[in-house]
Amino acid sequence: MTRLTRIEHARELMDEPGQDPELLEASIDDVAAVNRWLGGTRALLRHLPALLPPTDPATVLDVGTGSADLPRAIVRFARRKGREVHVTATDLHPATLEAARRRSADYPEIRVERADALRLPYPDGAFDVALLSMTLHHLEGEDQVRALRELHRVARRGAIVGELERSWPAWLGARILAATIWRTNPITRHDGPLSVRRAFTPAELLDLAHEADLPNARVYRHPVFRLVLVSRHR
């Protein structure tokens, strides 16, 4: 079977302004559910502890946070471990930010702010760890490298990038979800399969890390069709 080619220069509907707020919020909930049930959140949490400082408190930046489902998972993880962690959750879409603020109201450890992944408004080394989950494939060309460099710039200890692995089985799975569970939401129905077509192979993701000069970069494969790029700064 030939490799599934990557689609470039195609925008996902959730990135477009003027989307119906209820449909958009339901769509980012669909993304959070996929992360939770198909291993995306679990894969990222597996790599995070090794990058956190040995003593409290720890600071984490989550870029392109969506509904802030990952920051909430990080806080719950830290609470179980008896650790103090403060997470700054950022996004660029106003409606998405509002949803993230509402969902995180009971999490005082989380601060939600507007920020552009290409021009993060934070000084060098402002956070222990910087995260970018399910966001890199929304960017094009050089912007992907710029986003990775920004992650590296603001992180003292390391950066973690979570992505889909582009493959025929992953795309077929997304098509099945689009025809069933996602069929009532036009945003998720469109964006789900497209996300797979815009995603990466392990080699492509590692090439981007090298182009961005990320130190000690390594790509890990996880179920189900998940890639995690880890860059250790120390």
Whichever domain contains 156, its CATH number is: 3.40.50.150
Q: Say if 6 falls within a structural domain.
A: no
pLDDT of residue 1: 55
Q: In percent, how much of the chain has pLDDT > 90? A: 84
Question: What whole-number distance in Å separates Cα of residue 149 and Cα of residue 217?
Answer: 12
Question: What whole-number distance in Å separates Cα of residue 172 and Cα of residue 168?
Answer: 6
- Three-state DSSP state, 222: strand
| Across 141-158, average pLDDT | 97
For 89-143, what is each residue's pLDDT tens digit?
999 999 899 999 999 999 999 999 999 999 999 999 999 999 999 999 999 999 9
- Answer whether residue 25 shows pLDDT above 60: yes
Q: Say if 1 falls within a structural domain.
A: no
Q: Say if 118 falls within a structural domain.
A: yes
pLDDT of residue 212: 98
Q: Say if 4 falls within a structural domain.
A: no
Count of the separate structural domains present in the chain: 1
- pTM reported for the whole predicted model: 0.95
CA-wise closest residue to 93 among 27, 184, 1? 27
pLDDT of residue 234: 66
Q: Say if 2 falls within a structural domain.
A: no
Question: What whole-number distance in Å separates Cα of residue 192 and Cα of residue 8?
Answer: 15
- Which carries the bigger pLDDT value, residue 24 or residue 131? 131
Q: Say if 74 falls within a structural domain.
A: yes
Q: Say if 7 falls within a structural domain.
A: no
- Answer whether residue 35 shows pLDDT above 90: no
Q: Residue 115: which domain range? A: 13-232
Sequence length of the chain is 234
